[in-house]
Structure formats: C-alpha cells, structure tokens
Chains A and B, each alone.
Chain A
Amino acid sequence: AQKVTQAQTEISVVEKEDVTLDCVYETRDTTYYLFWYKQPPSGELVFLIRRNSFDEQNEISGRYSWNFQKSTSSFNFTITASQVVDSAVYFCALSEATAAGNKLTFGGGTRVLVKP
C-alpha cells in the first residue's frame, strides 16, 4: 500500500525566512507521480507541482523549489523568503494508476504560519 508521511504538522516562521517542508513516501511502483498542493484558509486545494519518478532534477518556480531524492523517497518543498500569503496547509501526494483514474494518497499536511 502506498503511504505519504509529512512529519511536520506545523511550522511557524517570520516573514522573509525560508521554510522547508518534508515529504517521505512509500510505494512499490517503479513509475509514479508526486504532487504538492496548497490549501489556504478558503479551503480549495491549489495544485503547485507534479513530478514524475524518472525526473530527479530539482525544480524552481519563483520562490518555490522542490528537491526530489528517489534514493531516500523524499520530495521536499522549500519556500524562499516567505510571505504572509504563504500561510496555508501544504499537502504532498503520491499517485497510483488505476483503471478508474489517478488515485492520490495524501500526506497529513503541514500547516505553515508566516508571521509579519
């Protein structure tokens, strides 16, 4: 069975500090996809990134960057120079291909609080 672990339940930082969110996953599949979603207080899950298991290149998008390490089954997410608007719950998810469609297994989420 697939599993995603986000060990940090809550992180509090002061604006402009960097924050790194950990994500560790378990799967027996050789091909899979990993995702990060952001859930602001409004409730909607906002898609941030999708990463294929064969692509271990780190990715940067503005203040966001992702570090995928297949050897340690980790897909960590860093917010550089955090801002108050980054306050949200962040979820890491792992996909499982089924005939029904993409079945996502989510981690428990990490709440990030950025203080001014």
Chain B
Amino acid sequence: ETGVTQTPRHLVMGMTNKKSLKCEQHLGHNAMYWYKQSAKKPLELMFVYNFKEQTENNSVPSRFSPECPNSSHLFLHLHTLQPEDSALYLCASSQVGRDTFQETQYFGPGTRLLVL
C-alpha cells in the first residue's frame, strides 16, 4: 500500500449505531488530520494529531471521538450520529518540522458516510 488509505470507503449507519473509520498512512509522516466535507460547507478540519498527541479539536461534537495509537494510524469513532453528520470524511497526513506551514498534506480517498 502506498500513500494514505482509508477504510471503509462507504458506510451506512443508523443513529444508534457505533462504528469506526480507519486511516493509515504509509508515508512516514508524524502528523495526521481528520476533515469533514459535506455538500453545504467547505472542507472543515476536525482534528489534528501531531506525534500521536491531539493538538487540535476544532469544536467537534463529542459523538466524534478520534484515536491515534501511533503515527501511522488514525481512527474516528462514531456514536449516536445525526443525519446531518452524513458527509465525506477525509484523512490526511504530513511531516511536521520546524517550519510547519510549508508541509504538504496528503489525503486519503475518504469514507462516504450516510447516517439514516
């Protein structure tokens, strides 16, 4: 596998279900990100993990719970979601160094989530 992979690619869940999205990066990067892309809003940053530490939570509801067990893997645990949470969830990774703003983020293919 190369680049950033995400599973599953598609997910349909009910509002009472619990599911998890998985992201894996094969680029040797040390920072990982979750983004939400819905039809009505631009790409929104949800969470940032830097060296496995969560360093940003962009006012995301607690029904979304991220987990980063190591620098290559990132999970997004979902529970009691709402229909408005239906969106494309994208994972990205980058290499954080001294000049953080120059790093390029590389994205996975996304998980298309539908909440019924």
With known contacts A107-B42, A109-B42, A102–B101 Cβ distance under 8 A = yes
Confirm or deny: B82 has a beta carbon within 8 angstroms of a beta carbon on chain A.
no
- Check B107–A37 contact: CB distance below 8 A: yes
- Check B107–A32 contact: CB distance below 8 A: no
Across the interface, which residues of B come within 8 angstroms of A52, CB to CB?
102
- Check B42–A101 contact: CB distance below 8 A: no
B-facing mask of A23-65, CB < 8 A → 1, else 0?
0000001011101010000111111001010000000000000
By beta carbon, the residue of chain A nearest B55 is A100
By beta carbon, the residue of chain B nearest A102 is B103
- Check B101–A97 contact: CB distance below 8 A: yes
Q: Which stretch, B61-69, B73-81, B88-96, touches the partner chain A? A: B88-96
Interface residues on A, range: 20 to 34
Across the interface, which residues of A come within 8 angstroms of B42, CB to CB?
106-109
With known contacts A100-B50, A101-B31, A95–B102 Cβ distance under 8 A = yes
With known contacts A43-B88, A45-B90, A102-B94, A97–B108 Cβ distance under 8 A = no
Interface residues on B, range: 20 to 34
- Check A42–B109 contact: CB distance below 8 A: yes
With known contacts A98-B56, A98-B100, A103-B56, A43–B112 Cβ distance under 8 A = yes
Across the interface, which residues of B come within 8 angstroms of A13, CB to CB?
none
Name the distance in Å between A7's Cβ and chain B's nearest Cβ.
13
By beta carbon, the residue of chain A nearest B48 is A100
Confirm or deny: B104 has a beta carbon within 8 angstroms of a beta carbon on chain A.
yes
Across the interface, which residues of A come within 8 angstroms of B92, CB to CB?
45
Top 8 closest pairs, chain A to chain B, by CB: A100-B55, A97-B101, A45-B107, A44-B109, A101-B31, A106-B43, A43-B110, A95-B101
